[in-house]
Structure 1
Amino acid sequence: MKRIPMTVTVALMVSAATCALAASTVDLTVNGIITPVACTPIFSNNGLVDYGKISRQDLNVDKRTQLRDESLDLNISCNTAVRFALKMRDNREGSAIVNSEIYYGLNYDRSGNRIGLHSLYFDPASTVVDAVPQVYRTDSTTAGRAWSLSRSNSIPIAARSYLGFTDVAGSTAGPVAIRNLSSRVTLVTIIAPTSTLDLSDDAILDGSATLEIVYL
């Protein structure tokens, strides 16, 4: 849903000659659009990826360890064709071992050390949009005011950038209206060096992120 912009305008005039004429008022303007459009995203396996028990012997002592990549199916169904974009919100904000909007945390061990990170990659080649013969991805770092050149390469979804899809290569027009989208997304998970972790007890991987649909 689009955020509702709030504009507050304050006028204050101070001078010896006009002080008595200054108005002690403030105007508040609230704008927004309530749309009948609704899109429903669904992950396979309820969005759960479980790596089970991981032995410390399978992890690197002095460098990061990338676990096996895991895949999830994502389906987005809308009640009518609509332009939308995707972004992600980290529910374990601040716990990723790399500070970047494409990396999400796995929480902390018992001593407060960051356990690792995960990221979610979208591949246009694994994405189907309505009856479109080929899908390209496009992204925006300006909340949809401008869009990158649409491409066919894979991209991780970010927390502050928008990710959209189009059927036109090399376009900067942004996403096209979509009614149904299905994609196979890839989860990449990395564990911090064990030398930086407290493994005197189990360290629980506890990553959580929310995929958000932004209507354009």
Structure 2
Amino acid sequence: MKKSLIFLVACTGLVNLLPAHAASTVDLNVNGVITPASCTPSLSANGLVDFGKIAQQDLNLTTGTRLPVKSLGLTVVCNGPVRYALRMRDNRDGSAHVNSEIYYGLGFDNSANKIGVYSLAFDPKQTVADAVAEVYGTESTTGGLAWRTANRNPIDVGAKSLLGFTDTAGSTAGPSAIQNLSSTLTLETVINAKQNLDLSTDIVMDGSATLEVVYL
């Protein structure tokens, strides 16, 4: 009993030494903007890319095998001029055998080996936005706090970066407000090295990703 009483007195002394102005509460603020802006993206062929059957003898043994480049048409239609950016979410997250935000997985074979990867790129030179004469691409790796200098070089769609378009060359102000946009996307696909795959049965490529419009 005596030890317990001593400990209690010591603790009480520490509490009395705390500053009188110490706060015992903290505020939480929940912010956001509900906007009337609305954009609808759509892909040609309903977003389906089919490579058909690929013979295992056509795969490289120790290095990845590049499949023919495919193209997809994209349109984004908004109910008015809207500042937005694009990013993509991998629905097969964890199945890419290359660790990069621009590569998306093709799923797993029957032995849980990673089948391969694909990437998707925009070319501003093949992009039309409203009545803009020339379109320039820009991207942000900081969630829109800072933007890369706008130019006409192709840009890969990232899972963690924002990709947008502007009508001003060299701008770092981010995307312009756009109502109607159309573009041709380039899809590049690489199958994992043959030695890394279980080829005892058919391997079904199962890539899936969601392209998202992010309002700014």
Q: Which amino acid aligns with 1:92?
A: R
Kindly report which structure 2 residues correspond to 1:24-103, keeping only aligned pairs within 5 A, or say none: 25-103=25-103
Q: Which amino acid aligns with 1:143?
A: G
Corresponding residue number in structure 1 for 2:141: 141
The higher radius of gyration belongs to 2
Q: Which amino acid aligns with 2:86?
A: L
Kindly report which structure 2 residues correspond to 1:10-25, keeping only aligned pairs within 5 A, or say none: 15-17=15-17, 25=25
Distance (whole Å) between structure 2 residues aligned to residue 137 and residue 99 of structure 1: 24
Q: Which amino acid aligns with 2:58?
A: D
Distance (whole Å) between structure 2 residues aligned to residue 163 and residue 26 of structure 1: 36
- SS of alignment partner, residue 77 of structure 1: strand
- SS of alignment partner, residue 212 of structure 1: strand
Report how far residue 27 of structure 1 moved. 2.7
Root mean square deviation, CA, Å: 1.5
Report how far residue 88 of structure 1 moved. 0.6
Q: Which amino acid aligns with 2:117?
A: L
Alpha carbons of structure 1 residues 56 and 25: separation in structure 2 relative to 1, 3 Å: same
Report how far residue 26 of structure 1 moved. 4.1
Corresponding residue number in structure 1 for 2:153: 153
Q: TM-score, normalised on structure 1?
A: 0.90
- SS of alignment partner, residue 83 of structure 1: strand
Q: Does 1:174 align with 2:174?
A: yes
Report how far residue 15 of structure 1 moved. 3.1
Moved more, 144-153 or 16-25: 16-25
Distance (whole Å) between structure 2 residues aligned to residue 169 and residue 28 of structure 1: 41
Runs (5+) with no aligned partner, structure 2: 1-13
Query: Which structure has the highest helix share of the two?
Result: 2
Measured against aligned partners, the alpha-carbon deviations of 1:184-212 in whole angstroms (never above 9, x if no partner) come to 10110000111110010011100011101
Corresponding residue number in structure 2 for 1:208: 208
Structure 1 segments of 4 or more deviating over 6 A?
19-23
Runs (5+) with no aligned partner, structure 1: 1-13
Distance (whole Å) between structure 1 residues aligned to residue 22 and residue 134 of structure 2: 61
Report how far residue 16 of structure 1 moved. 2.4
Report how far residue 169 of structure 1 moved. 1.1
- SS of alignment partner, residue 35 of structure 1: coil
Report how far residue 58 of structure 1 moved. 1.3
Kindly report which structure 2 residues correspond to 1:183-194, keeping only aligned pairs within 5 A, or say none: 183-194=183-194
Q: Does 1:118 align with 2:102?
A: no
Q: Percent identity?
A: 61
Corresponding residue number in structure 2 for 1:6: none
Alpha carbons of structure 1 residues 176 and 18: separation in structure 2 relative to 1, 3 Å: same
Report how far residue 168 of structure 1 moved. 1.1
Distance (whole Å) between structure 1 residues aligned to residue 171 and residue 22 of structure 2: 51
Alpha carbons of structure 1 residues 118 and 15: separation in structure 2 relative to 1, 3 Å: same
Distance (whole Å) between structure 1 residues aligned to residue 173 and residue 25 of structure 2: 42
Distance (whole Å) between structure 2 residues aligned to residue 22 and residue 143 of structure 1: 35
Distance (whole Å) between structure 2 residues aligned to residue 44 and residue 182 of structure 1: 11
Distance (whole Å) between structure 1 residues aligned to residue 79 and residue 124 of structure 2: 23
